[in-house]
Chains A and B, each alone.
Chain A
Amino acid sequence: MAAMIEVEGLAKRFGAIQAVSGISLEVRKGEVLGFLGPNGAGKSTTMKMITGFLEPDAGTARVCGFDIQKNPIEAKRHFGYMPEGAPSYSEMTPLGFLGFIAAVRGHSGAEADARVRKAAGRTQLERVLYQPIETLSRGYKRRVGLAAALLDDPDVLILDEPTDGLDPNQKHEVRALIQEMAAEKAIIISTHILEEVDAVCSRAIIIARGRIVADGTPEELEARSNHHNVVSITATNETLVQLKASIEALNGVARVDMELRRLLAVPDANANLLDGIRVLVRQKGVSVTDIRLERGRLEDVFRAVTTTSEAGGGR
Chain B
Amino acid sequence: MSTTLTLFRRELASYFVTPVAYVFIVIFLALLGAMTFFLGGFFGRGEADLAPFFAFHPWLYLLLVPAISMRLWSDERKSGTIEMLLTLPISPMQAVIAKFFAAWAFAAIALALTFPFWLTVNYLGSPDNGVIVAGYLGSLIMAGAYLAIGSCFSTASKNQVIAFVLAVLVSLIFTVAGTPLVLEFISGWAPRAVIDVVAGLSFLANFEAISKGVLDVANLFYFISVIALFLFINVVLVNVLKAR
Chain A interface size, as a band, is 20 to 34
Which secondary structure characterizes the binding site on chain A? loop
Given A87-B83, A89-B81, A100-B10, are A76 and B3 also a contact pair (CB < 8 Å)? no
Closest to B5 in A: A103
In the complex, the answer to whether B87 meets A55 with C-beta atoms within 8 Å is: no
Given A54-B242, A73-B90, are A104 and B83 also a contact pair (CB < 8 Å)? no
Interface status of B179 (Cβ within 8 A of chain A): no
Chain B interface size, as a band, is 20 to 34
Interface status of B122 (Cβ within 8 A of chain A): no
Distance to closest chain A CB from B62 (angstroms) = 28
What residues on A are CB-neighbors of B210 within 8 Å? none
Distance to closest chain A CB from B158 (angstroms) = 13
Find the residue from B14, B83, B87 having the highest chain A CB count within 10 A: B87
Given A104-B89, A106-B3, are A53 and B83 also a contact pair (CB < 8 Å)? yes
**CA A148 to CA B87, docked complex, whole Å:** 12
In the complex, the answer to whether B242 meets A90 with C-beta atoms within 8 Å is: no
Distance to closest chain B CB from A94 (angstroms) = 14
Interface status of B169 (Cβ within 8 A of chain A): no
Interface status of B217 (Cβ within 8 A of chain A): no
Distance to closest chain B CB from A160 (angstroms) = 9
Task: Pick the contact of A91: B3, B14, B244 (CB < 8 A).
Answer: B14
Q: Mark B227-244, 1 if CB is under 8 A from A, else 0.
A: 000000000000000111
What residues on A are CB-neighbors of B3 within 8 Å? 103-104, 106
**CA A100 to CA B83, docked complex, whole Å:** 16
Distance to closest chain B CB from A241 (angstroms) = 57
Given A100-B6, A104-B3, are A88 and B81 also a contact pair (CB < 8 Å)? yes
Given A53-B242, A54-B242, A91-B18, are A101 and B88 also a contact pair (CB < 8 Å)? yes
Interface status of A81 (Cβ within 8 A of chain B): yes
**CA A34 to CA B138, docked complex, whole Å:** 57
Interface status of B80 (Cβ within 8 A of chain A): yes
Closest to B92 in A: A72
Interface status of A216 (Cβ within 8 A of chain B): no
Interface status of A121 (Cβ within 8 A of chain B): no
In the complex, the answer to whether A104 meets B90 with C-beta atoms within 8 Å is: yes
Q: Mark B76-100, 1 if CB is under 8 A from A, else 0.
A: 0001110110111111000000000
What residues on B are CB-neighbors of A132 within 8 Å? 17
Distance to closest chain A CB from B86 (angstroms) = 6
What residues on A are CB-neighbors of B80 within 8 Å? 83-85, 87
Interface status of B50 (Cβ within 8 A of chain A): no
**CA A101 to CA B85, docked complex, whole Å:** 9
In the complex, the answer to whether B81 meets A76 with C-beta atoms within 8 Å is: no
Interface status of A297 (Cβ within 8 A of chain B): no
In the complex, the answer to whether A87 meets B84 with C-beta atoms within 8 Å is: yes
**CA A219 to CA B87, docked complex, whole Å:** 34
What residues on B are CB-neighbors of A52 within 8 Å? 86-87, 242
**CA A148 to CA B85, docked complex, whole Å:** 11
- Measured CB to CB, the residues of A under 8 A from B are 14, 48, 51-55, 72-74, 76-77, 81, 83-85, 87-92, 100-101, 103-106, 132, 145, 148
A-B contact pairs, 28 of them (CB 8 A): A53-B87, A73-B90, A73-B91, A74-B89, A76-B87, A76-B88, A77-B89, A83-B80, A83-B84, A83-B87, A84-B83, A85-B80, A87-B79, A87-B81, A87-B84, A88-B84, A90-B79, A91-B17, A91-B18, A92-B17, A103-B3, A103-B6, A104-B7, A104-B88, A104-B90, A105-B88, A106-B3, A132-B17
